[in-house]
Amino acid sequence: MALQRVLVSLARRSFSTASTTSPMSRLFANTDYTPNPLEHASGIEKKQLIAELAGNDDPFDVSVVKRGACTKDQPQVVLSCNHERLVGCICEEDSESVVWMWLRQNESKRCACGYWFKLQKKEPL
């Protein structure tokens, strides 16, 4: 019985000693530390964070673009680093549906509403 108490006491002592000196406990004990998401991000998320820090809020060109002239001579340019991209056209301002079409590199395409679009090469991030 006495040996059991000694072992439990040693286990508690070693557990409490280990928990106060481990890197994780020091990390949580330091309340001034604020993790930087850039340090933990990797891959495409890290590229997005770096682009946002550089002032580019839409690094992958996914935001809605207001159409320009959209004629055959001046088509709406859509950027992509891929060979093709799915593009949606809201044909009329009060339309409740989107007409989707695939655009291919350096190929102009006309939507059913008459607006022209063209996919242009963009260098990847």
Residues at the interface with Zn ion (CB under 5 A): 89, 91, 99, 111, 113
CB of 83 to Zn ion, least distance (A): 22
Taking the C-alpha atoms of residue 45 and residue 87, their distance in angstroms, rounded to an integer, is 23
CB of 103 to Zn ion, least distance (A): 13
Nearer to Zn ion, 20 or 88 (CB): 88
Q: Which residues 6+ apart lie within 8 Å of 79 measured at CB?
A: 61, 119, 120, 121, 122
91 is in an annotated binding site: yes
Q: Which residues 6+ apart lie within 8 Å of 77 measured at CB?
A: 117, 118, 120
Nearer to Zn ion, 89 or 103 (CB): 89
Could you tell me which residues are annotated as the binding site?
89, 91, 111, 113
